[in-house]
Chains A and B, each alone.
Chain A
Amino acid sequence: MKTLTIYLLEGPYTYQDADIALQISEKALQKGYTVNLFLYLDGVHVPKTGQKAAKFPNVEDRLVKLIGLGLNVKACVRCAAARGYVEGERREETRVFPSRQYVEGAYITSIYDFPDWMKRSDKVIVFGE
């Protein structure tokens, strides 16, 4: 089974990068790939709960659907903490930082996970300005 890792550096709505990343993820998941989405810099805004985009496709809803289809989502703690998403110390059992502001299935971990994913991927795609 092939593995795709996507590195997303942009938040939702300002750029279309998040939409395209999710579109590619969806197609890859449908083909049976393992798909990893690593969020960095403003990409950490993507899993924020409570998004109400008036005219644009809702990124949160799409992300939740793809997590349901098996999309792995992790975010860098340095970037997430800077932007106010980290709400406590790291949980040792799961190595995840808690956040009630994130959709279920999206986890704040660390930048370590990105090279670890890369090493096990057939392809790495980067979206970001």
Chain B
Amino acid sequence: MRMAKSVVIIITKVPYGHESVYGGLYTAIACSDRNLLAIVILLDDGVYSAMKGQASENLSYPCIEDLFYTLAPNVKVYVHEQSMVERGIERDRLIEIVEVIEDKRLLALLREHGDAIIKY
């Protein structure tokens, strides 16, 4: 019987427009605190979540950019390169703590850590 020891959390939504970005980060923290190795992959529109300079005060909504720093050091965050290219986002527009990955690395991460894969 194979039991989950790791989980990949894939976020494909825009922050603020959808609760699931906040929900996904919240779940990532819960999994990591319960000793599941958790990683977060930002894919498709999810790559917007890691952009610098988010000013969410006017929305009365938690700042997603700042929340990524609460994931450190145990939960690593990866950003899908092709999704960035499609949206015209350069590396220097993202927060410094995320790692940009291409498709091969994405697949490798899913294979290595994807005992459970949750896509938001």
Classify A-B as touching or not with yes or no (CB < 8 A). Answer: yes
Residues of A within 8 A of B (CB): 2, 7, 9, 40-41, 78-79, 111-112, 114-116, 118-122, 124, 126, 128
**Partner among A2, A41, A111 whose Cβ is within 8 Å of the Cβ of B30:** A111
**A7-B118, A119-B34 in contact; A111/B20 too (CB < 8 A)?**
no
CB distance from A35 to the nearest CB of B (A): 15
Bound CA span A2–B119, Å: 23
B7 contacts chain A at the CB level, 8 A cutoff: yes
CB distance from B70 to the nearest CB of A (A): 15
Q: How many residues of B contact A (CB 8 A)?
A: 22
User: Which residues of chain A have C-beta atoms less than 8 A from B5's C-beta?
Assistant: 119
**A118-B7, A119-B36, A126-B119 in contact; A9/B20 too (CB < 8 A)?**
yes
Residues of B within 8 A of A (CB): 1-5, 7, 19-20, 23, 26-27, 30-31, 33-36, 116-120
User: Which residues of chain B have C-beta atoms less than 8 A from A121's C-beta?
Assistant: 3-4, 116
Q: Which 6 A-B pairs have the closest CB atoms?
A: A115-B34, A124-B116, A115-B31, A111-B30, A118-B4, A126-B118
CB distance from B99 to the nearest CB of A (A): 23
**Are A115 and B36 closer than 8 Å at their CB atoms?**
yes
Bound CA span A73–B107, Å: 32
**Partner among A41, A115, A118, A124 whose Cβ is within 8 Å of the Cβ of B20:** A41
Beyond the given A7-B118, A119-B3, could you list 15 further A-B residue pairs with CB under 8 A, ordered by the A residue number?
A: A40-B27, A41-B20, A79-B23, A114-B31, A116-B34, A119-B5, A121-B3, A122-B2, A122-B3, A124-B4, A124-B117, A124-B118, A126-B117, A126-B118, A128-B20
Bound CA span A45–B93, Å: 38
**A116-B34, A126-B117 in contact; A41/B23 too (CB < 8 A)?**
yes
**Are A114 and B119 closer than 8 Å at their CB atoms?**
no
CB distance from A12 to the nearest CB of B (A): 17
